[in-house]
């Protein structure tokens, strides 16, 4: 498995409306923390996020979290 690109060493803290989102797992997207299709041709696939209510989330930007798509503090170790 390839290593992801570190998009940022801090999470994206966002308040998201209900809906479907795709979290970028590869780190190449120009629309972090969301997928823009840049993973095509790699081992990576985006992770679908479905929210039924408005929710504040801390989405991983370093891409090394063990609790995808949420930040688990891994950015402090890389
Ligand atoms: Fe990174 Fe799609 S651009 S997973």
Q: How do residues 20-55 score in pLDDT, each as one tens digit?
A: 999 999 999 999 999 999 999 999 999 999 999 999
Q: Is 38 in the pocket of ligand 1 (CB under 6 A)?
A: yes
Instruction: Decide if pLDDT at 1 tops 70.
Output: no
Say how far apart CA 6 and CA 26 lie, in whole Å.
8
Which segments of 1-78 does DSSP mark as H helices, in order? none
How many folded domains does the chain comprise? 1
Inside any domain, residue 4: no
Provide the domain limits for residue 51. 12-77
**pLDDT band at residue 72 using 50, 70 and 90 as cut-offs:** very high
Answer yes or no: is 48 within a domain.
yes
Report the residue among 26, 60, 64, 65 best suited for mutation to probe ligand 1: largest number of ligand atoms under 8 A from its CB: 26
Query: Model pTM?
Result: 0.96
Q: Which of 20, 60, 25, 50 is nearest to 39 (CA)?
A: 25
């Amino acid at each position: 498995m390839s290593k992801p690109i570190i998009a940022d060493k801090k999470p994206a803290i966002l308040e998201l409306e209900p809906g479907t989102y795709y979290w970028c797992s590869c780190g190449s997207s120009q629309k972090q923390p969301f997928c823009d299709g840049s993973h095509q041709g790699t081992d990576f696939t985006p992770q679908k996020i479905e929210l039924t209510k408005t929710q504040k989330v801390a989405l991983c930007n370093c891409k090394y979290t063990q609790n995808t798509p949420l930040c688990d503090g891994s950015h402090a170790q890389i």
